[in-house]
């Protein structure tokens, strides 16, 4: 079984700065884009704000072009007839919206010296602000790590296959780093600029409110746990509310959330109160 | 002028039993050379030396382990190892009847744990020491694989010694998916990643009533056609940017991650396009998942035992990261 390509995380600016493709498109081996910090990506995972969707298909063909913004720039996503579920999603969504995309990195070269980077979606879905902010944080971590690794490569003074061998002990991207260093003429200043980009990206998520603790009634884990608890504690004639509350409190659920969860279970018709203060599953 | 150092030297010498010369030298350095306030100097020296003392105490129980190079950490065990010595706590030992080619025998099953891992064990003879509740030094045990996870076997040539002292227990280890994509399976680990795909065979399925295999079109591949038992599960691909794994949620966890309404609708089979609904509920969302990684004919699979949505304050994490970059 061939290994699935890992979905890499990069910011839009670094992604769009890329113009190096590896691997032949003729055979079935996957294509890779190598970014300026040496990240080898075939599959990417991006989360951002969908700002615009255009139908650019000619003569009734399906082809949507979507713009997805992160704090550093904009990803371009194309979905045509071979990405039916992504195309359907894009045709019906209202902008702006937080979306997550899993897809393949593509490079389009219409003429010599002109490069356009895009993403061909495999999956696309509506997410929320918290998921976007977390993606910005995680992508910052990955980008910083890549910058540091590239800086170590520069400090080594090595080049080409020697550099690749030297770096392979510490990173799976050793091959990407070795070719990126020469192809992009990577400099200390350029890496410093990317570091500043990460700083600026992080600054955009600083003062957002922390995620509100989910209400217990919509908290699936609480529902599952309390339902299982009733099942286990029931010796045949139901469970008293006090006993249940005691057990739930040991797991960190307060009276408020137990009550809410019970109401949700009753509303869903999974549990009832045969007598006052006694609970039973249906 | 008062000497600020002498009374502190007296104090700390009595309290911590550190010799006066060392104390005097360190205090001079802090108070006179570095102009650290007296209280702060005192505090930092107490902290420094009590950490030493604590470290010695903590190292003690494993003191013998360190001197015995043949002791292996549980995380380093691999199927095929033999003549191994381990030092571990015994967790939930119990007698079990099993059927082998030579008839039925009684074995003892359970888990061994040290600070690095938890692994299954089987003892092939009755060893009451396993029930003593004490940590054991088990010599000459051998390791085989059970669903791709290493499993310790205690046989006739093995010896068990009760160990005076405690072995620190196992705390669920946070792993990167890259780590889990190599080597054997792992027991009780935790990962954090994003759902990037939902595999076919998720949602409402039918299991063979005899062997619990998932049936295709009402047929079990071993037992043929029969009335299947309905079950609900999700096979999601989890990706953390370093690696990816198929992760299986059983019925209870499916309910936990989907919420009760969607779960019930799936169970009743009344949903149009159940696959699309599953995707809309999960794709792109991050999860923290606890479970076991097994290795079998379909490759490595993470069997989830707990799944939650992360809720750390990323604004705060971002601030900390920015400070560390300056």
- Using the Cβ of B262 and the Cβ atoms of chain A, whether some distance falls under 8 Å is answered with no
Name which of A102, A172, A221 is nearest B308 (Cβ-Cβ): A221
Q: Do both A128 and A257 map to the same domain?
A: no
Contact A163, A178 (CB under 8 A): yes
Residue A217, pLDDT score? 40
- In a domain? residue B265: yes
Residue A220, pLDDT score? 72
Residue A121, pLDDT score? 97
Is there a cis peptide before residue B42, judged by omega within 30 degrees of 0?
no
Q: Highest mean pLDDT range out of A120-124, B91-95, B221-225? A: A120-124
Q: Looking at CA atoms only, how far is residue A112 from chain B in angstroms?
A: 32
| pLDDT band at residue B42 using 50, 70 and 90 as cut-offs | confident
- Using the Cβ of B200 and the Cβ atoms of chain A, whether some distance falls under 8 Å is answered with no
Name which of B255, B284, B317 is nearest A131 (Cβ-Cβ): B284
What the block records as the tokens of B292 is 């076991």
Taking CB atoms and an 8 Å limit, are B284 and A125 in contact across chains?
yes
Chain B contact probe: residue of A3, A5, A7 with most B CBs at under 10 A: A7
Q: Do both A55 and A11 map to the same domain?
A: yes
The domain tally of chain B equals 3
Q: Looking at CA atoms only, how far is residue A186 from chain B in angstroms?
A: 21
Q: Do both A49 and A188 map to the same domain?
A: yes
- Using the Cβ of A231 and the Cβ atoms of chain B, whether some distance falls under 8 Å is answered with no
Q: Do both A63 and A161 map to the same domain?
A: yes
Last residue of a domain, one of A149, A181, A208: A208
Q: Considering all CA atoms of chain A, what is the largest pairwise distance in Å, rounded to the nearest integer?
A: 79
Q: Do both A157 and A270 map to the same domain?
A: no
Digit-coded pLDDT (tens) for A40-98: 999 999 999 999 999 998 888 899 999 999 999 999 999 999 999 999 999 999 989 99
Residue B69, pLDDT score? 66
Name which of A205, A209, A220 is nearest B260 (Cβ-Cβ): A220
Q: Do both A149 and A28 map to the same domain?
A: yes
Taking CB atoms and an 8 Å limit, are B196 and A127 in contact across chains?
no
Q: What is the domain extent for residue A185? A: 1-208
pLDDT for residue B48 is more than 80: no
Over range A2-29, report the average pLDDT.
84
Over range B250-260, report the average pLDDT.
89
Q: Do both B202 and B138 map to the same domain?
A: no
Q: Do both A168 and A224 map to the same domain?
A: no
- In a domain? residue B77: yes
Taking CB atoms and an 8 Å limit, are B181 and A221 in contact across chains?
no
Digit-coded pLDDT (tens) for B169-187: 888 888 999 988 887 788 8
Last residue of a domain, one of A208, A231, A263: A208
Digit-coded pLDDT (tens) for B53-67: 555 444 444 444 444
On whether the pTM is more than 0.90, the answer is no
Find the CATH number of the domain harbouring B179: 2.40.50.140
Taking CB atoms and an 8 Å limit, are A141 and B311 in contact across chains?
no
Last residue of a domain, one of A186, A208, A230: A208
| pLDDT band at residue A162 using 50, 70 and 90 as cut-offs | very high
At a CB cut-off of 8 Å and minimum separation 6, what does B236 contact? B195, B197, B198, B199, B202, B246, B247, B249, B282
Q: What is the domain extent for residue B24? A: 5-58
Q: Do both A204 and A183 map to the same domain?
A: yes
Please state, for a pLDDT cut of 70, what percent of chain A lies above it. 93
**Average pLDDT value over all residues in chain A:** 89
Give the orientation angle of helix B260-268 with respect to helix B274-282, to 10 degrees: 160
Neighboring chain B residues of A104 at a CB cutoff of 8 Å:
none
Q: Do both B145 and B255 map to the same domain?
A: no
Q: How far is CA A280 from CA A49, A238, A276, B309, B310, in A?
A: 45, 5, 11, 29, 32
Q: Looking at CA atoms only, how far is residue B324 from chain A in angstroms?
A: 11
Neighboring chain A residues of B267 at a CB cutoff of 8 Å:
none
Over range B142-167, report the average pLDDT.
88
Last residue of a domain, one of B163, B193, B227: B163
In chain A, the residue whose alpha carbon lies closest to the alpha carbon of B242 is A6
Q: Looking at CA atoms only, how far is residue A42 from chain B in angstroms?
A: 12
Over range A234-247, report the average pLDDT.
86
| pLDDT band at residue A210 using 50, 70 and 90 as cut-offs | low
- In a domain? residue B324: no
Helix (H, G, I), strand (E, B) or coil at B272: coil
Q: Do both B48 and B131 map to the same domain?
A: no
Residue B51, pLDDT score? 60
Please state, for a pLDDT cut of 70, what percent of chain B lies above it. 93
């Amino acid at each position: 079984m061939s290994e699935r390509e890992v979905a890499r995380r990069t910011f839009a600016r670094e992604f769009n700065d890329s113009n190096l493709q590896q691997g032949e498109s003729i055979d079935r081996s996957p294509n890779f884009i190598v970014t300026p910090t040496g990240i080898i990506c075939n599959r990417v995972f991006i989360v951002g704000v969908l700002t615009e969707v255009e139908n650019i298909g000619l003569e009734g063909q399906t082809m949507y072009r979507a713009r997805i913004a992160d704090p550093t720039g904009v990803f371009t996503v194309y979905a045509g007839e071979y990405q039916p579920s992504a195309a359907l999603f894009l045709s019906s969504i209202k902008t702006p919206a937080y979306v997550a995309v899993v897809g393949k990195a593509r490079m389009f070269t219409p003429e010599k010296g002109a490069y356009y980077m895009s993403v061909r979606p495999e999956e696309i879905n509506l997410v929320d602000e918290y998921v976007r902010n977390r993606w910005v944080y995680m992508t910052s971590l990955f980008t910083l790590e890549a910058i540091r690794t590239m800086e170590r490569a520069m400090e080594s003074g090595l080049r080409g296959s020697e550099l690749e061998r030297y770096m392979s002990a510490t990173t799976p991207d050793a091959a990407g780093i070795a070719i990126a260093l020469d192809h992009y003429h990577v400099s200390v200043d350029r890496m410093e600029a990317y570091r500043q980009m990460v700083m600026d990206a992080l600054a955009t998520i600083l003062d957002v409110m922390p995620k509100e603790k989910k209400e217990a009634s919509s908290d699936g884990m609480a529902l599952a746990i309390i339902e299982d608890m009733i099942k286990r504690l029931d010796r045949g004639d139901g469970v008293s509310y006090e006993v249940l509350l005691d057990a739930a409190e040991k797991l960190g659920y307060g009276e408020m959330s137990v009550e809410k969860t019970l109401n949700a279970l009753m509303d869903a018709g999974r549990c009832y109160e045969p007598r006052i203060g006694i609970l039973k599953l249906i | 002028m008062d000497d600020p150092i002498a009374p502190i030297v007296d104090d700390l010498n009595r309290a911590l039993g550190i010799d006066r010369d060392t104390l005097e030298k360190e205090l001079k350095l802090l108070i006179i050379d570095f102009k650290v306030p007296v209280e702060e100097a005192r505090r930092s020296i107490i902290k420094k030396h009590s950490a030493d003392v604590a470290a010695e105490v903590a190292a003690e129980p494993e003191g013998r382990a360190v001197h015995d190079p043949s002791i292996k950490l549980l995380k380093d065990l691999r199927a095929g190892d033999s003549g191994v010595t381990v030092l571990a706590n015994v967790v939930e030992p119990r007698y079990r009847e099993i059927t082998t080619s030579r008839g039925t025998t009684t074995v003892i099953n359970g888990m061994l744990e040290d600070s690095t891992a938890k692994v299954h064990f089987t003892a092939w003879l009755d060893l009451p020491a396993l029930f003593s509740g004490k940590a054991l030094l088990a010599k000459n045990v051998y390791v085989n694989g059970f669903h791709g996870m290493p499993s310790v076997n205690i046989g006739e040539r093995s010896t068990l010694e009760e160990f005076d002292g405690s072995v620190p227990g196992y705390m669920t280890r946070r792993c990167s998916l890259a780590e889990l994509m190599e080597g054997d399976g792992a027991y009780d680990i935790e990962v954090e990643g994003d759902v990037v795909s939902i595999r076919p065979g998720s949602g409402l399925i039918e299991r063979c009533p005899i062997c619990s295999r998932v049936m295709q079109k009402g047929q079990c591949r071993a037992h043929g056609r029969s009335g299947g038992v309905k079950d609900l599960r999700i096979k999601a691909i989890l990706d953390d940017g370093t690696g990816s794994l198929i992760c299986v949620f059983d019925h209870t966890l499916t309910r936990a991650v989907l919420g009760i309404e969607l779960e019930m609708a799936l169970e009743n089979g009344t949903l149009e396009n159940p696959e699309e609904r599953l995707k809309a509920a999960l794709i792109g969302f991050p999860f923290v998942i606890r479970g076991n990684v097994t290795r079998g004919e379909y490759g490595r699979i993470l069997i989830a035992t707990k799944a939650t949505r992360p809720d750390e304050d990323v604004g705060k994490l971002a601030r900390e990261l920015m400070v560390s970059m300056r």
